[in-house]
Amino acid sequence: MSQPLNLPFDPIERAAGTWRDRFGPAEAMAAATSVMRVHQLLLARFDAVCRPYDLTFARYEALVLLSFSRTGALPMARIGQRLMVHPTSVTNTIQRLEQAGYVRREPNPRDGRGTLARITDPGRAVVQVVTKHLMAAEFGLAALDTPQREALTSLLREVRVAAGDFGPVDN
């Protein structure tokens, strides 16, 4: 888990000052670097919660996706699409979940060449337990109140739309 640094200064703020002196405007660099650092902190927190259950956060996300599906099963390609990861990552994730007994693979009856990943009862149970822990930890965002979390989500959504994750959607 990423340990608190407890530095007597903000290294991103300090880097922004140096950046400004050497290269010019630093707001984009400071914001991007802040997002990357928070990503490290959140992922470390999530993985610490998931680790006792033989999960990583990526594996937990796959289980949640399967638990959300109508039948508890999805084609491997759809899992990759929904989780926005490479097919190789999906294969590795599902293999590890299968080894843990949380998922089983089966032929896709709609596509003779395809494979479905299906969540098992132990997989559903572990989703419930890990979700309770993550929610109790407020997904690592306890320092922000609800309006701040909503504002953060909205701001980051704009970056995701601009990157092509999905098109603009009316709310």
Kindly give the confidence (pLDDT) of every residue in the chain, 171 residues in length, as a single tens digit, with 9 standing for 90 and above: 556 678 999 999 999 999 999 999 999 999 999 999 999 999 999 999 999 999 999 999 999 999 999 999 999 999 999 998 998 999 999 999 999 999 999 998 888 788 999 999 999 999 999 999 999 999 999 999 999 999 999 999 999 999 998 887 665
* Helix locations, 23-101, DSSP H: 27-50, 57-68, 76-83, 87-99
- Give residue-wise pLDDT tens across range 91-132: 999 999 999 999 999 998 888 788 999 999 999 999 999 999
Cα–Cα distance measured from residue 94 to residue 100, given in angstroms and rounded to the nearest whole number: 10
In one-letter notation, the amino acid at residue 33 is: T
Residue 116: what are its φ and ψ, rounded to 5°?
-100, 145
Determine the Cα–Cα distance for residues 38 and 141; give it in Å rounded to an integer.
10
Place of tokens 């009856």: 109
Q: Which domains does the chain have, with CATH numbers?
A: 11-151 (1.10.10.10)
